[in-house]
Structure 1
Amino acid sequence: MPNHNSGTSDGQLRWGILGTGFIAGLQVQDLLDNGFTVQAAGSRSLETSKAFTSRHGIATAHGSYEDLVADPDVDVVYVATPHVFHHANALLALNAGKHVLVEKAFTINVREARDIVDLATEKGLVALEAMWTRFLPHMAHLRKILADGLLGDVRKVVASHNQDLPKDPAHRLNDPALGGGALLDLGVYPISFAFDVFGAPQRILASAAMAATGVDRQTAAIFEYADGQQALVDCALDTAGNNRAAIIGTAGWVEIDSVWYNPVPFTRYDISGNVVERFDRPVKGRGMQYQAAELERLVREGATAGNLLPPCESVAIMAAMDEIRRQVGLSYDADRQL
């Protein structure tokens, strides 16, 4: 199993930031604090872009996404727009010859995900999903525990992501036209975690409760696997929870502290419930630098797919979320755009 990367950069690749919202600011701060070169940012308005670049000390502001991806001083584009726009934005950057780090959820549906991955493959470019949790040190150590067989036969994954988010019906999270709902924003974390441990499920059983706007306000699913393993995943956008996760095996279990998808400690127990390990490694900033370092590693090595989150797995995760949405009756405008 690969070890986690250092989360730092030699600064040679130049990043462009597509979209200047909240998540873009978090990513940029972790990039700047760890030696990455952030060259430019682009927004749909030059005024917004200039405010963002001024706030973060970035050299170039572009007043359109087209200008950003055409910038010859940009090598990599971080797509930080709402996920309903990821497909168009990632294709725009790839067609301009730029590698892309695309926020999760990767797209709205599996068809869009395949489009991005196929184009990146055709052009020999990296298209990496920005599921930052995958690349954090505690997840790297968890994978080593599993690889070393310290939990015995792993039987179950349990992971939750419940938050109390804005109730405004016009908010992006509550708007079906913008891919709102708990599943794509929040559920993608525990679903990706289940994939990390077990891979793609053989069968999915899903249930959801809908908000008045037509998006899912809470969703739960059981993933079933060929050898009887299960993953129990749930999410909600109108109820806060403890947001913990566990991996359970025949020789012991691991409990990851709240909030499990952040760089937090975890405890490993033996089958009798005795603590045998406490992993606690502080991380600089929020920890979003690790996914960027993975992308830079792939570019440096001339690879388009790594072991930690290959593009085919991002596609499979979108397929699983499509199946959950099919079962609970959640559709988006993008599903009808053929």
Structure 2
Amino acid sequence: MTWGVIATGGIAHAVTADMLKAGVQVGAVSSRDVAKAEQFAEKFGIPRAYGDYHELLADPDVTVVYVATPHGQHHEVVLAALDAGKNVLCEKALALTVAQVEEMVDRARTTQLFLMEAMWTRFNPLIRKVVEAVGAGEIGEVRLVRADFGFRHAFDANDRLWAKEAGGGSVLDLGVYPVSLAHLLLGVPGTVHAHGGLAPSGVDADAGILLGYENGAHALLGCSLTADTGAGAAIIGTEGRIDIPEAFYNPTRVLINGVEHTAEDGGYTHQIRSVDDWVAMGFVEHADMTWNDSVEIMRIMETALGQLGVSYADVVR
């Protein structure tokens, strides 16, 4: 199969480098600035560069596309890709609203093409080990998931992290990781409570999110673009605990009841190989990051954002 890369920002550079490490074939790249696409293609040895993603989607050799645009463009680009007959791996957060995610999922279901949100954390070998340990009861019943992801990022209304039309804000860009971890281990919460601050551009600058579950378990999650909170996580059960040192979204070591487990940093390679395999086998949905997972995680974030006073309704097409 041949992959196409849509957009040429920092995340596209990192993921494409790991695509090559994973041994997949990358045949095309697109950028609104064709010069950037050409530079990107030269750097990674990609044979074709396009100045418009519609041109890439018309490339008959491309089987699956990786969408690396800002969140605000995901909905438009993913629908166009599916309509063009392409399988899709799209960066997280998958969209700006639950309604957008549901429409994207419905289109994938209708076209019978693969669609997955690129939550690479779920494919990390140590995160898989953590899930196995929890499932085996090694720490008893999980009562608390605690996770943070935050750093200081100077405000600039034109920066994608702060720009509302780009899907900026701490929750969609950073909070998606802690929320996804809690969802992975505890499922859908019964209650969501959020508190945080807003930026002049109308997006959230930081947030503390408390997820409550019917059995009394809870998740304490934080994300910030104004303070360096770090990126560690802990899972605490009735019989023990698991600590995931920074960065929990791509760990190289975890402590399960005090016993250290390590692995080499595989980056995005595990996710890329798995998606490549699943698309090749004809699947349209991945069992480790399902369509329903994406809808449920987006619903948690949308609820939290609403409590913070953030709505993307004015920028959603």
TM-score range, shorter chain: over 0.9
Matches of 1:336 and 1:186 in 2, distance apart?
Answer: 20
- For residue 300 of structure 1, the aligned residue among 270, 273, 280 is 280
Matches of 2:154 and 2:113 in 1, distance apart?
Answer: 37
The aligned residue for residue 225 of structure 2 is 237
- TM-score, normalised via structure 2 length: 0.97
Matched, 1:103 2:85: no
The aligned residue for residue 319 of structure 1 is 299
The aligned residue for residue 222 of structure 1 is 210
The structural deviation recorded for 1:135 is: 0.7
Q: Which 5+ residue runs of structure 1 have no aligned equivalent?
A: 1-12, 270-274
Matches of 1:283 and 1:173 in 2, distance apart?
Answer: 26
Contact 2:305/2:311 (8 A) holds in 1:
yes
- For residue 187 of structure 1, the aligned residue among 172, 175, 178 is 175
Matched residue type, 1:189: Y
| Displaced runs of 4 or more, over 3 A | 333-337
Contact 1:138/1:265 (8 A) holds in 2:
yes
Q: What pairs up with 1:116-155 in 2 under 5 angstroms? A: 116-155=104-143
For residues 203-247 of structure 1, the C-alpha deviation after alignment (integer angstroms, 9 at most, x for no partner) is 101111112222111101111112111011110001112311000
3-state SS of 2:189 partner: coil
Aligned length, in residue pairs: 317
The aligned residue for residue 198 of structure 1 is 186
Q: What pairs up with 1:244-323 in 2 under 5 angstroms? A: 244-269=232-257, 275=258, 277-284=259-266, 287-323=267-303
Matches of 1:196 and 1:206 in 2, distance apart?
Answer: 19
The structural deviation recorded for 1:168 is: 2.0
For residues 228-271 of structure 1, the C-alpha deviation after alignment (integer angstroms, 9 at most, x for no partner) is 110111100011123110000011000101111123201122xx
Contact 1:152/1:250 (8 A) holds in 2:
yes
Matched residue type, 1:155: R
The aligned residue for residue 74 of structure 2 is 86
Q: What pairs up with 1:37-56 in 2 under 5 angstroms? A: 37-56=25-44
The aligned residue for residue 152 of structure 2 is 164
Matches of 1:83 and 1:100 in 2, distance apart?
Answer: 15
For residues 76-121 of structure 1, the C-alpha deviation after alignment (integer angstroms, 9 at most, x for no partner) is 0000000000000001111111100000011011111011111111
The aligned residue for residue 14 of structure 2 is 26
For residues 168-224 of structure 1, the C-alpha deviation after alignment (integer angstroms, 9 at most, x for no partner) is 232111122222111100000000111110111111011111122221111011111
Distance 1:78 1:115, change over 3 A: same
3-state SS of 1:111 partner: helix
3-state SS of 1:219 partner: strand
Contact 1:105/1:184 (8 A) holds in 2:
yes
Contact 1:79/1:102 (8 A) holds in 2:
yes
Q: Which 5+ residue runs of structure 2 have no aligned equivalent?
A: none
Matched residue type, 1:309: M
Q: What pairs up with 1:66-85 in 2 under 5 angstroms? A: 66-85=54-73
Matched residue type, 1:61: A
Matches of 1:334 and 1:67 in 2, distance apart?
Answer: 29
Contact 2:96/2:316 (8 A) holds in 1:
no
Distance 1:47 1:336, change over 3 A: closer
